[in-house]
Amino acid sequence: MNNLKKVIFITNIPTPYRIPWWNKLNEFVNLHVVFMDKTEKNRKWDNVLQQSSFKYNVSQGLHFDFPKRDWTLHINPGVLYTLIRYKPQKLILGGYDSITSILALGFTKFLRVETILWYESTQESENLNSGILKKIKRSLIKSFSKYAVPGESAKANLICMGVKPENIYIASNVVNNNYFYEAVQVYKTQKSLLKERLGLTGQVILFVGQLIERKGLQVLLNAYIKLEVENISLLIVGDGPLRHEYERFCADHELYNVRFAGFQDMDSIPEYFAAGDLFVLPSYREVWGLVVNEAMASGLPVLCSKYAGCSYDLILEGVNGYTFDPNNEAELTLKLREMLSDLIKLEAMGEASTTIINQFTIETSVRGIVEALN
DSSP 308: B
268-322 pLDDT, tens digit each:
999 999 999 999 999 999 999 999 999 999 999 999 999 999 999 999 999 999 9
Q: Look at residues 369, 366, 362 and name the one whose alpha carbon lies nearest to residue 177.
A: 362
Residue type, 114: E
Confidence class of residue 66 from pLDDT cuts 50, 70 and 90?
Answer: confident
How high is the pLDDT of residue 1? 43
177-193 pLDDT, tens digit each:
999 999 999 999 999 99
Label the pairing between strands 62-66 and 71-75.
antiparallel
Q: Which residues contact 84 (CB under 8 A, 6 or more apart)?
A: none
Contact 34, 43 (CB under 8 A): no
- Backbone φ and ψ of 334, nearest 5°: -60, -45
Contact 8, 82 (CB under 8 A): yes
pTM comes to 0.90
Residue 337 has pLDDT above 60, yes or no: yes
How high is the pLDDT of residue 27? 96
Q: What distance in Å separates the CA atoms of residue 259 and residue 193, rounded to the nearest whole number?
A: 16
Q: Look at residues 340, 365, 357 and name the one whose alpha carbon lies nearest to residue 299.
A: 357
